[in-house]
């Protein structure tokens, strides 16, 4: 299925990946090999260049199995497809030779995961040394991302707060490679490299709208209407959602994605002052955006609701109601 995630597509044999929770499947694989090839464990151990007891450890779950060895064993069976599908149905625990920084790998793309990817494409980056850096203005948003990371990957990072921003750092080679290999997330500098992943484009409606929500929670801008005692004319006349991004083709793809939800946008066009591209969801689209709850960020969601109420009031009376 389109939304399924395979460990064999996520990691390469030479990534030195270890799989922790497949002892039951390994037992069946080895039984199948021994029976069909008429060999014993000693012969199989010599083929893999390991000690006999390693196979017993794998079967008992006392030690994880290297992905390279797991792939080799599956190839030796008469039920390759069956064992591949069985493994891919599990939420696997992955490590890299140490029990530190273990990571659970989702077996399918959920709406929650799509939201995370969209958000990271706006306010996250893959830095050197397997670290994912996330930055936001508000602690509430970081807490929500932290919750998603815990429920999907069983990971927890470190949070650093200042007056201007909250930074969240996660050290995880597993998550780093997952984002890069499954969602084509660029390494290091994102400028000019971001694309909407095929895994999102080919996903269902839930995956697509959650990706949009994640990205707009990061890079979608609205007038901070709550900061004004009296609403300025520019908000009354030209309230809109502005989406900024340095990569033009990303916004062109986002524009097409928005159209799937009947949300028409203007642009992208180049903004000289900010040296980036912008996509605009104009005043006419705001009510539709509010109806499908295009923001999960509570501050942006409340701003959009307030602006829509203001626009509805103006449409009825010809002027803004008292704020």
Burial profile 162-173: b = 16 or more Cβ within 10 angstroms, e = fewer: eeeebebebbbb
Three-class SS state of 311: helix
Stronger pLDDT, 3 or 227, i.e. the higher one: 227
Give residue for tokens 């140490």. 98
82's CB contacts (< 8 A; 6+ apart) are none
Distance, C-alpha 61 to centroid of its chain = 30
Which domains are delineated in the chain? 7-96 (no CATH), 111-203 (3.10.28.10), 219-317 (3.10.28.10)
pTM across the whole model = 0.90
Query: Measuring CA to CA, which residue among 135, 91, 292, 123 is closest to residue 220?
Result: 123
Does pLDDT of 313 surpass 90?
no
What are the angstrom distances between the C-alpha of 108 and each of 22, 36, 125, 275?
A: 18, 33, 22, 37
Three-class SS state of 4: strand
Report the residue count for the chain: 323
Give the mean pLDDT of the chain. 90
Helix or strand run (H / E) with residue 284: none
pLDDT, tens digit, 9 for 90 and up, residues 232-287: 777 777 788 999 898 999 999 999 999 999 999 999 999 888 788 999 998 889 99
Q: Any bridge partners for residue 160, and if so which? A: 167
Burial of 51 from C-beta contacts in 10 A (0-12 / 13-18 / 19+): exposed
Looking at beta carbons, which pairs linking 152-158 to residues 24 or more positions away fall under 8 Å?
A: 152/104, 152/106, 152/110, 152/112, 152/113, 152/116, 153/103, 153/104, 153/105, 153/106, 153/178, 154/93, 154/102, 154/103, 154/104, 155/103, 157/132
Task: Specify the DSSP class assigned to residue 108.
Answer: B
In the predicted model, what is the mean pLDDT of residues 306-312? 86
> pLDDT band at residue 319, thresholds of 50, 70 and 90?
low
Task: Specify the DSSP class assigned to residue 115.
Answer: H
């Amino acid at each position: 299925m389109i939304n399924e995630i395979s460990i064999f597509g996520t990691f390469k044999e030479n990534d030195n990946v270890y799989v922790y929770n497949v002892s039951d499947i390994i037992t069946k694989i080895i039984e199948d090999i021994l029976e069909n090839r008429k060999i014993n464990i000693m012969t199989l151990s010599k083929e893999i260049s390991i000690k006999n007891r390693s196979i017993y450890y794998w079967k008992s779950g006392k030690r994880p199995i290297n992905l390279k060895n797991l792939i080799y064993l599956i190839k030796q069976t008469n039920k390759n497809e069956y064992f591949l599908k069985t493994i891919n149905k599990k939420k696997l625990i992955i490590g890299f030779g140490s029990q530190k920084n273990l990571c659970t790998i989702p077996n399918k793309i959920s709406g929650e995961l799509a939201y995370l990817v969209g958000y990271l494409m706006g306010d996250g980056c893959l830095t050197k040394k397997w670290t994912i850096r996330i930055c936001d203005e508000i602690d509430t948003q970081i807490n929500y991302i932290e919750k998603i990371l815990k429920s999907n990957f069983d990971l927890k990072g470190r949070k650093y707060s200042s007056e201007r921003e909250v930074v969240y750092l996660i050290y995880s080679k597993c998550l780093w490679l997952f984002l890069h290999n499954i969602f084509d997330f660029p390494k290091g500098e994102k400028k000019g490299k971001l694309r909407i992943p095929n895994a999102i484009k080919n996903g269902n409606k839930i995956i697509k709208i959650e990706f949009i929500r994640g990205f707009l929670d990061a890079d979608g801008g609205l007038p901070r209407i709550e900061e004004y005692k009296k609403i300025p004319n520019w908000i009354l006349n030209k309230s809109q959602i502005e989406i900024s991004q340095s990569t033009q083709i990303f916004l062109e793809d986002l524009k097409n994605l928005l159209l799937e939800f009947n949300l028409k946008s203007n642009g992208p066009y180049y903004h000289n002052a900010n040296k980036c591209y912008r996509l605009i969801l104009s005043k006419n689209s705001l009510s539709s955006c509010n109806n499908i709850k295009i923001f999960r960020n509570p501050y942006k969601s409340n701003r959009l609701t307030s602006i829509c109420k203001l626009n509805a009031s103006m449409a009825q009376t010809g002027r803004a109601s008292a704020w």
